[in-house]
Amino acid sequence: MMSYSILFLSLFVTLYFIHRARTYRALAQFGGPWSTGWSRLWLLRATASGIMQSYFKDVNDRFGSTARVGPEILITSDPLLIRRMSAVRSSYTRAKYYKALRLHPTRDNITTLRDEKAHDELRAKMAPGYSGKENQGLEATIDVRVRRLIALIKYSYVTTSTSYRPLDLARVVSFFTLDTISDVAFGKPFGFLDRDDDPFGYITQLKSMLPAMMSFSVYPEMQTIMQLPWMQLLLPKVTDAIGFGKVMGFARDVVAERFPLPGFDEPQVVRKDMLGSFKEHGLTQEQLESETLTQITAGSDSTATAIRMTLFHILTSPGSLNRLLNELDAAGFPSPSMSASDEGISIIPDSEARRLPYLQACIREGLRLYPPVTGLMSKQTPPSGDTIPVRYPDGTTKDVFVPGGVSIGWNTYGMLRSKHLFGDDAETWRPERWLDGNENQELIQAVDLVFGYGRFGCLGRSVAMLELNKAVPELARRFSWQVVNPEKPWGGICAGFWLQEDMGFVARERWADDGH
């Protein structure tokens, strides 16, 4: 009996190493850390490090525009390949990576759905709600949230000659984007700004949840284990008093309001907002709950990063701040003196903000230096495989065949800090690269990839840009700012999204400083 067990074990080990040898040889032409041809441990270490963006950038810098990070996993910083994989008629599909990104324990959402036909159908139903065509109060709703953000800073955090009140800009911007996405999506803000607090414990739990999701993305087969009944007991539940479970409960309740109570024919709430549009176009109650969770997490954290880092670089770069303030002053917007009531504060219209070249250059540069999403978002090669060009560090390029079923993730951080694309100052904040006749469509298209592309493009892009076009100039022109700790201006980790914190600033009323 023992001899049969040893024989079986030997056979298993032999077959395992034969399989590993085959997968190693299949991608042998791609460089990468030595262990990545045999194991996913390097990728697990990278995603769990808190600085995954640096690991990924280093791999492409050292081994080429497309490099190996696992036995059947590549990563690319080539914008042409990224667009090719996501094009409308591309034969690439979403890789198993997406299985780990479910926010609801048992349901897919627009991001995680891997059935391409079902994904396209769901996307078509949701697109009108995001476009604003069926949510005509979209901009006005965002204006209300911007006013509330300004009021919070004005009444709780303005420093004077007799009162020192620093604020964590990362935190209050998160409050703003969370309230905004909840208000525009289903007409009911969470209330973060009103409380100046996290009533759900959501932000705290996100700091542990996102790194765990990134670890699961390395081993997506673990998602099967998460479906086991005993594992469900460990996951967030709608009955939880705090954290993501409480957010799930909130989503369940606001969705339920759009449907009739038992014994009634009419829904409790009817609104012309995103949720109303999704329901009108045929999403079920379960789908609406799942998509609401996606909106809250993906729609708030990504936009918060874009606002934070664009503002941070403007406020800490005197030349940029002065040029932006001059542009805003010259545009003739009403004075930011705040003599009007908080509800009457005039907010720069989106149509006007889009016509301010330096503001748009700053926003584009902020997105370039800190792309909000840094996860692999891997696509899978078609069964027949594909031949892709690889650019090596010595400048040479070679066409390399990739077998079918291989995952290729995109390295947005490495791509947008590539010296090959952006020159020797690729790591430097310089909005002027987008102005003064320097407009380069190839580079503009590369930055636009932070919103995805083609059939995988971000539906919430228009909402995110509305928030950026309003929050960035209003905060820059209404207050003067000073970093609290120049040696460490902010902290946090990168785990698919940026979890930034302790971005300490002192804010003073700008007109009080300049005599207005």
Mean pLDDT of 27-46: 94
Runs of H (alpha helix) within 460-503: 461-478
Percentage of residues in the chain having pLDDT higher than 70: 89
Greater model confidence, 173 or 102 = 173
One-letter identity of residue 70: G
Distance separating alpha carbons of residues 147 and 429, to the nearest angstrom: 29
Neighbouring residues of 306: CB distance < 8 A, sequence distance ≥ 6: 363, 366, 367, 370, 372, 464, 468
Q: Helix, strand, or coil here: 480?
A: strand
Q: Which domains does the chain have, with CATH numbers?
A: 2-514 (1.10.630.10)
Mean pLDDT of 122-138: 84
Is the pLDDT at 204 greater than 90? The verdict is no
Is residue 311 within 8 Å of 169, Cβ to Cβ? Answer: yes
pLDDT of 381: 97
Q: Please, is 114 exposed, middle or buried when counting C-beta atoms within 10 Å of its C-beta (0-12, 13-18, 19+)?
A: middle
Cross-strand bridge partners of residue 483: 505
Helix (H) or strand (E) holding 75, with range, is strand 73-76
Q: Please, is 488 exposed, middle or buried when counting C-beta atoms within 10 Å of its C-beta (0-12, 13-18, 19+)?
A: exposed
pLDDT of 330: 94
Greater model confidence, 133 or 22 = 133
pLDDT of 7: 60
Is the pLDDT at 12 greater than 60? The verdict is no
pLDDT of 230: 59
Range with the poorest average pLDDT among 241-250, 346-355, 427-436? 241-250
Range with the poorest average pLDDT among 191-195, 220-224, 271-275, 418-422? 220-224
Distance separating alpha carbons of residues 338 and 326, to the nearest angstrom: 19
pLDDT band at 8 (very low <50, low <70, confident <90, very high): low
297: closest CA among 28, 103, 99? Answer: 103
pLDDT of 178: 94
Range with the poorest average pLDDT among 6-20, 77-91, 191-205, 271-285? 6-20
pLDDT of 252: 86
Is residue 36 within 8 Å of 68, Cβ to Cβ? Answer: yes
Distance separating alpha carbons of residues 176 and 477, to the nearest angstrom: 18
Mean confidence (pLDDT) of the chain: 88
Is the pLDDT at 15 greater than 60? The verdict is no
Distance separating alpha carbons of residues 386 and 258, to the nearest angstrom: 46
Greater model confidence, 4 or 280 = 280
Question: 319 vs 130, 326, 514, CA distance in Å?
Answer: 36, 11, 17
Greater model confidence, 171 or 292 = 171
Is the pLDDT at 231 greater than 80? The verdict is no
Is the pLDDT at 20 greater than 60? The verdict is no
pLDDT of 232: 63
Percentage of residues in the chain having pLDDT higher than 90: 61
pLDDT band at 502 (very low <50, low <70, confident <90, very high): very high
Residue showing tokens 């009162």: 163
Q: Which long-range contacts (CB under 8 A, 24 or more apart) does 178-183 make?
A: 178/202, 178/296, 178/300, 178/304, 179/145, 179/148, 180/141, 180/142, 180/145, 180/300, 180/303, 180/467, 181/295, 181/296, 181/299, 181/300, 181/303, 181/463, 182/296, 183/141, 183/144, 183/145
Give 425's DSSP letter: T
Is the pLDDT at 224 greater than 80? The verdict is no
Mean pLDDT of 462-488: 96
Q: Is 203 left (phi over 0), alpha (psi -120 to 50) or beta?
A: alpha
Distance separating alpha carbons of residues 174 and 458, to the nearest angstrom: 20
Binding residues for heme: 458
Mean pLDDT of 22-40: 86
Is the pLDDT at 396 greater than 60? The verdict is yes
Mean pLDDT of 341-369: 92
218: closest CA among 96, 393, 394, 82? Answer: 96
Greater model confidence, 29 or 293 = 29
Is the pLDDT at 49 greater than 90? The verdict is yes
Mean pLDDT of 67-76: 96
pLDDT of 203: 87
Residue 216: alpha-carbon gap to chain centroid = 18
- Kindly report the pTM of this predicted structure: 0.91
365: closest CA among 419, 459, 410, 428? Answer: 428
Mean pLDDT of 319-339: 86
Kindly state the tokens that stand for 83. 């667009």
Q: Helix, strand, or coil here: 246?
A: helix
Mean pLDDT of 121-131: 89
Is the pLDDT at 302 greater than 60? The verdict is yes
Mean pLDDT of 381-391: 96
Range with the poorest average pLDDT among 39-53, 73-87, 238-252? 238-252
pLDDT of 292: 84
Is residue 236 within 8 Å of 243, Cβ to Cβ? Answer: yes
pLDDT band at 488 (very low <50, low <70, confident <90, very high): very high
Strands 386-391 and 491-495: unpaired
pLDDT of 514: 47
Binding residues: 458
One-letter identity of residue 93: T
Is residue 111 within 8 Å of 459, Cβ to Cβ? Answer: no
Is the pLDDT at 515 greater than 70? The verdict is no
pLDDT of 457: 92
pLDDT band at 504 (very low <50, low <70, confident <90, very high): very high
Is the pLDDT at 340 greater than 80? The verdict is no
